[in-house]
């Protein structure tokens, strides 16, 4: 029988396009929230910070 490998969990990081979020560039996403009328998603970073970002600013890793 073949060796079973541990499944890898998909992780997401923030890659902001706006300068005001530059300090959070590369931080890992902990949780996703609701989407507002403008199409931005509320995310919680692993350090507890909550920000609203465009979906294009979220990168899988």
pLDDT (tens digit, 9 = 90+) per residue, 2-58? 565 555 788 999 999 889 999 999 999 999 999 999 999 999 999 999 999 999 999
Q: Give pLDDT, residue 3.
A: 60
Spatial distance between the Cα atoms of 51 and 45, rounded to a whole number of angstroms: 8
DSSP bridge pairs for 60: 12
Q: Give pLDDT, residue 36.
A: 96
DSSP bridge pairs for 32: 43
pTM: 0.79
Q: Give pLDDT, residue 10.
A: 86
Q: Give pLDDT, residue 4.
A: 54
Spatial distance between the Cα atoms of 14 and 29, rounded to a whole number of angstroms: 7
Q: Give pLDDT, residue 18.
A: 82
Whether residue 31 contacts residue 44, with contact meaning beta carbons closer than 8 Å, is answered with yes
């Amino acid at each position: 029988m073949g060796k079973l490998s541990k499944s890898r969990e998909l992780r997401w990081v923030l890659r902001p396009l706006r300068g005001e979020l530059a300090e959070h560039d590369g931080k890992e996403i902990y949780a996703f929230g609701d989407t507002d009328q403008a199409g931005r998603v509320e995310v919680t970073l692993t350090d507890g910070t909550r920000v609203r970002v465009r979906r294009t600013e979220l990168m899988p890793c």
